[in-house]
Structure 1
């Protein structure tokens, strides 16, 4: 049954149906052009371009949409003051071409007319933009954000079965910037969660190349304008749907960025904290027990996840009982960089503290300069910590192609399922747990609150309002 949900016409070149065939009906102002092509008068009737031979069907709603895009692109070129330079008489520019309409090229070869040179491709534009972009953003940000975008532009999609990227037929990088129709169609076919971000970066890349004089033809228009590709607001189902991150399916609560996690200040209770630490130390898996000291350290210092991983013993002074947090580890690059705030800070602890006891034990057993080395003596990755905390799934492919899925539950996930703690919170909440418990224990000591804020790279105002619950209604009593 033919769909009634046809795209609204936004130009004078209309899309109509003739039986099961789709056709473009051109307005009378274009008639002289088609009369030259046909070599006969159309007697005032509109010319029709039938799309059946190009695979279009009136029964397919998507073909109606594509035909409308063709109509808009053709009208835009034909109505332009330099239409003879923009309109492609072979129709190849519009994803069609061939047949008798290729003869139109002869009609448009007017005396003195110079055909435009081929425009640069989307891929050439994107690579030039990346060369500049990587000089102005942090390496971690560049790798995490722009690798995903580049894969989408080059048509690479993740194959979960083979655990690798494979090439699809949605390769936007090879399309000329002047081919607006093919760009539009290809972008609509690209499957990427952050498509609006992709479009905004393509839009900026075009402006960058235009400013640098890299475009071949001054008449080339920006095919990535955001209003053209406007998308509806993200639905609740989309917001909480699983997402693919670095080829691995993640639940929505696993992919919150650090800013979101920083603002989500829920915390474990003291009892839950100790249950989690004990579970890591007593796990029957040696691979879990390796992370136990690191998890305990997170709970006892409130440092950010990336700040503990690159710590070396030179950062810790056991005589003065202080830790110097001055660096962090990039999540994707695994390279040492500065802290989130860009500042170094000192964390002080007492001579009888549980933290000092932990550090002394680690120091006596360590032969590495890294405080929390992996089994290979290198830095842990944030993703590996997350896997032990939450759990992960592996797919095993047998010789006959059968895929067997193995699920390894994380320590904290298991504790929730067993009812030993009240609910699941991401590993980053070790930070909020420390600040919450320590702030409440010292809520009547302003000097202590200041020290907590300074040690954790926070502010007293944040601790008062978001950890101790000071409201706007609280006022100072005047004397």
Structure 2
């Protein structure tokens, strides 16, 4: 019975024999082993973790046997591959084989890559690399019930970089997009490693096969079952995540949401209400609203604009530059002016935050999600979940559907564009390009009909 494995070499198979793992060599290698079919025990119990180790050994051996200089590279004693056999000592004495330098592991390459990558990207992006992609490489996933990380038998962290990493990662249970992003980053890490002369590999082992690279036209393909039956035509399939991101609230729904926060029975949603209204009226990014100080708001006859020059990261607890790295000015219009005058304290200092939680500290995305989406907690040892303001509005049918907090930005851009605001002006005040607005932010006005031509 063959051990289940996500990726095996072509000419060496990993087998389970009475609960122990062994390697079976293809008949093409019979001449090397005295004309007989070769089996090599590994001295390992048949477990998912040991299967991964066995795969790594099989790949190393096959790599040596397939090499043009295989006679110099292949070690018939198997000591080179970390195995001990009864013939090891005498064969080594008869034909000593120099111990090769150990190949760098995926984990070591990744850690070196992260140190190089750190100063090149925003702290938020780097945090994504450190946590999400690193966890995929380590085979770790967060278990919400146990509130801890659990390990899957698909870790490639300790494997040599030539150990069929692509096949192992692609067969792992993580989301497809996350696995592809991980492989793209690993590919970049390898190119850097190769440029430094730290590997003898000449071919990038992290390049995904063309057959599994996501094609932009895939969304137009029908879903076909194993027997060839068409289950869903492309027009019936679920929309792409980026297309879902284009959705926005209507003007009426926007006003219903704002009013619901202002009139909520609890103080925290009421405290959040001005920030919600501000984002709906400016389309600024979350962190830009969190970091806004009164010295950035210019109210008066000669100056009536807001300066967005920084962003607060709630995960890292620090203030950094905006996503584009540039400051921009936002012209204050009457409705926005009314909001700012209404919420500005008489004794406001220039360095005071415009929007704060009840404790006077920065708002952050996690705190807002509890009020917007839902709040999980334990009551008498029982897990409880309470709907957020927008979730409840959607459940009660007061708005057409639930959309996440970032839809405030989509809503502002969509309503402004539908009202005739120039897209170049809109892109400038929102810190984007016209192309990005058209591709990712601009929702569709379903009330507008095609012109009768």
Give yes or no for TM over 0.5: yes
For 1:271-316, what per-residue CA distance to the aligned partner results, in whole angstroms no more than 9, with x for missing partners?
Answer: 2222111110111222222211100111222223232111100111
* 2:174 aligned residue (172, 189, 192): 192
Instruction: Give the gaps of 5 or more residues in structure 1.
Output: 36-43, 237-252, 399-403, 475-479
- 1:434 is displaced (CA, Å) by 2.8
Q: Provide closer, same or farther for how the CA distance between residues 384 and 229 of structure 1 changes in structure 2, counting only shifts above 3 A.
A: farther
Assess if the C-alpha contact under 8 Å between 2:166 and 2:183 holds in 1. no
Instruction: Give the gaps of 5 or more residues in structure 2.
Output: 220-237
Report what 2:233 is aligned to.
none
SS at match of 2:130: helix
Alignment of 1:305 with 2:292, yes or no, is no
- 1:371 is displaced (CA, Å) by 0.3
Distance of 1:423 and 1:145 partners within structure 2:
32
SS at match of 1:364: coil
* 1:120 aligned residue (99, 104, 107): 104
Report what 1:270 is aligned to.
251
SS at match of 1:388: helix
Report what 1:279 is aligned to.
260
Report what 2:119 is aligned to.
135
- 1:325 is displaced (CA, Å) by 1.9
| Paired residues, number | 419
- 1:184 is displaced (CA, Å) by 7.4
- 1:450 is displaced (CA, Å) by 6.4
Alignment of 1:321 with 2:321, yes or no, is no
* Aligned-pair Cα RMSD in Å: 4.7
Q: Provide closer, same or farther for how the CA distance between residues 159 and 450 of structure 1 changes in structure 2, counting only shifts above 3 A.
A: closer
Matches within 5 A, 1:79-118: 79-83=66-70, 86-89=73-76, 91=78, 97-98=83-84, 101-104=85-88, 106-107=90-91, 113-118=97-102
Assess if the C-alpha contact under 8 Å between 1:16 and 1:25 holds in 2. no
Distance of 1:383 and 1:153 partners within structure 2:
26
Report what 2:369 is aligned to.
386
Distance of 1:461 and 1:335 partners within structure 2:
30
Distance of 1:333 and 1:457 partners within structure 2:
23
Distance of 2:112 and 2:42 partners within structure 1:
39
- 1:211 is displaced (CA, Å) by 2.0
Distance of 1:184 and 1:104 partners within structure 2:
33
Assess if the C-alpha contact under 8 Å between 2:6 and 2:171 holds in 1. no
* 1:48 aligned residue (23, 38, 53): 38
- 1:370 is displaced (CA, Å) by 0.5
Distance of 1:288 and 1:340 partners within structure 2:
27
Alignment of 1:425 with 2:403, yes or no, is yes
Distance of 2:5 and 2:132 partners within structure 1:
33
- 1:169 is displaced (CA, Å) by 6.5
Distance of 1:453 and 1:221 partners within structure 2:
42
Assess if the C-alpha contact under 8 Å between 1:158 and 1:165 holds in 2. yes
For 1:165-187, what per-residue CA distance to the aligned partner results, in whole angstroms no more than 9, with x for missing partners?
Answer: 35677654334446x37x67865
Q: Provide closer, same or farther for how the CA distance between residues 397 and 201 of structure 1 changes in structure 2, counting only shifts above 3 A.
A: farther
Report what 1:240 is aligned to.
none
Distance of 1:376 and 1:7 partners within structure 2:
51
SS at match of 1:210: helix
* 1:74 aligned residue (49, 61, 72): 61
Report what 1:375 is aligned to.
358
